[in-house]
Structure 1
C-alpha cells in the first residue's frame, strides 16, 4: 500500500470510511449482536481465532472488535481486483493455502511482536456445512513464537446472511 506519513493517513481515512460503510450494511442486514468483547485485550499481541462459516466473518470481526486488527487471508482473495484492494485497506495480507508460507508467517510474527492484533482463521477456509473443520497449527505456532494471547471467537448465523460460496446477502438471514 501507500508508504510514508501521508500515505498512512490516507489509508486510515479510507479504512475508517469502509468501516462506517460496512457497519451500515450490517445494520441493514438485520443487525448483529456481539458478546464477550470485554475479553478482547485492548493492547498487546493478540491472536483472534474464529470459526469461519461465511465470507461475512472477517467483516464482522473488523467492525465489531474495538481495536484495529490485521487479517491473514487466503491468497485467492487478492486475485479478485476489487476485493483484493479492499482487503488490503482493511489490513489483510495474503497467505498461501497449499504450502507453508514463510513470508506470511514472518509478517504475522512481526505484527504480533509490535503488539498488534491478528485474526487467524484456524480452519484455513470457510466451512461449507457450518461444522468445525480440522484446525491448522498456524495460530498456535504464532502464539508460541511471539507470546501472543489467543482468544477463541465463535461466529454463529453469518452463514444464513451470506451463505458459503455466495456473494449476495440474504436480508434478515
Structure 2
C-alpha cells in the first residue's frame, strides 16, 4: 500500500503540472465496500487520473504481456494491478476481479475496452455488466473530459452509484447492464462538459 500511496502522490504532482485537473463528485465514492469504477477511456493518462485523487486504492486489469517485463511487471503487481489475457475470455482474471470486489475493494474498468480516438463515448463491452451483475459492488460511473493538452483543463467527474438491485434480481444480461452504465457515463459527460 505504501507503493500505491507514493504512486498516487507522484501522479497527482505530474497530472497537476501538465494539466488543469478538475475533480468532481468524489463524495459519491463509498468509503467502504466493493466498488466498480466504470469510466470512458481517452488516453493512457486515464488510469492514473482515475485513482490519483481519491483515498481508496483502485485495482486495474492490465494486459498480461506487461507482467512479463521484469521492471514493469513488479511495479504493476506492487500497485495492485492483475493480469488479463486479451482477445478472449480469461476466467482467472474474471475470478480475480470478482474476488477483489467481494473482499470490499475497488476495481477500475474502461468498459469500451480501448481508447476513443475522437473523445466520444463508444459502446461498452459486456465485461463491466458481468462484474456489476455478479457482485454486490457499488457501480460508480465516471467520465473523463479532455483532451489532455499541456496546461488545458481535464475534468474527471464521479457520478452517484447506479442502483443495480433490479438488474441483479431480474438477471438482466451483462450487455444490458453495460449499456445502462454507458448511458450514465454519457449523461455525466453531458452534465459536466
Match among 113, 131, 153 for residue 120 of structure 2: 131
Match among 141, 148, 164 for residue 152 of structure 1: 141
Asked if 1 retains the 8 angstrom alpha-carbon contact of 2:19 and 2:148, the reply is: no
**Distance verdict in 2 for CA 1:81–1:55, change over 3 Å:** farther
| 2:94 equivalent to 1:94 | no
SS at match of 2:89: coil
Which region of structure 1 is more displaced relative to structure 2, 140-149 or 43-52? 140-149
The alignment's TM-score, normalised by the length of structure 1, stands at 0.79
CA distance in 1, matches of 2:68, 2:27: 36
Asked if 2 retains the 8 angstrom alpha-carbon contact of 1:69 and 1:117, the reply is: yes
- Please state how far the C-alpha of 1:80 moved relative to its aligned partner: 5.1
Asked if 1 retains the 8 angstrom alpha-carbon contact of 2:38 and 2:140, the reply is: yes
Superposition pairs for residues 29-108 of structure 1, below 5 Å? 29-79=18-68, 81-108=70-97
- Please state how far the C-alpha of 1:93 moved relative to its aligned partner: 1.2
- Please state how far the C-alpha of 1:160 moved relative to its aligned partner: 2.3
Asked if 2 retains the 8 angstrom alpha-carbon contact of 1:97 and 1:124, the reply is: no
- Deviation digits for residues 40-75 of structure 1, max 9, x if unmatched? 111111100000000000000120122112112233
Count of matched residue positions in the alignment of Structure 1 and Structure 2: 152
Asked if 2 retains the 8 angstrom alpha-carbon contact of 1:109 and 1:146, the reply is: yes
Flag the structure with higher strand content.
2
Match among 5, 10, 13 for residue 2 of structure 2: 13
| 2:151 equivalent to 1:172 | yes
Provide the aligned C-alpha RMSD in A. Answer: 1.8
Asked if 2 retains the 8 angstrom alpha-carbon contact of 1:78 and 1:85, the reply is: yes
| 2:124 equivalent to 1:114 | no
CA distance in 2, matches of 1:128, 1:76: 23
Asked if 1 retains the 8 angstrom alpha-carbon contact of 2:33 and 2:104, the reply is: yes
The alignment's TM-score, normalised by the length of structure 2, stands at 0.72
